[in-house]
C-alpha cells in the first residue's frame, strides 16, 4: 500500500494495480501539518489513478456544445515514484 501526502496533509492510500508496496511518499512537519516533503496536488493523485486505470489524463476529452473539453480540467502529473 502506498501512502501519498498531498499539500494540505491529505493522506491517500493506494493498493494493488501497479503501485509499489509498502511505500510512504511525502512527509509532514513534526506536528503533522502541513506537508513539507514530497508535496503533491490532488490533481496529481487523480492523474496517477487515471494512469493506473490505463487512461491518459491529457487525452481524456469529451464533446460539449461542439467543443472538445478535457475531463480533468486541471493540469496534473503522474506520480512516478509510487508506480511499480
Q: What is the DSSP string of 49-74?
A: HHHHTT--TTT-EEEETTEEEESS-S
Give pTM, 2 decimals. Answer: 0.70
- Residue-range definition of the domain harbouring residue 31: 2-82
Distance linking the first and last C-alpha atoms of the chain? 11
* pLDDT, position 49: 84
Contacts of residues 14-17 at CB distance under 8 Å and 24 or more positions apart, as own/partner, are 14/48, 14/49, 14/52, 14/82, 17/52
pLDDT tier at 10, thresholds 50, 70, 90: low
Mean pLDDT of 55-63: 82
pLDDT tier at 17, thresholds 50, 70, 90: confident
Report the number of distinct structural domains present in the chain.
Answer: 1
Give alpha helix (H) positions in 1-84: 42-52
Mean pLDDT of 57-62: 81
Amino acid at each position: 500500500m502506498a501512502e501519498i501526502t498531498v499539500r494540505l496533509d491529505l493522506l491517500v492510500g493506494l493498493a494493488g494495480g501497479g503501485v509499489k508496496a509498502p511505500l510512504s511518499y511525502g512527509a509532514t512537519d513534526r506536528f503533522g501539518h502541513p506537508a513539507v516533503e514530497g508535496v503533491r496536488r490532488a490533481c496529481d493523485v487523480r492523474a496517477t489513478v487515471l494512469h493506473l486505470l490505463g487512461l491518459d489524463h491529457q487525452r481524456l476529452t469529451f464533446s460539449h456544445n461542439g467543443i472538445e473539453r478535457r475531463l480533468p480540467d486541471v493540469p496534473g502529473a503522474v506520480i512516478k515514484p509510487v508506480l511499480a
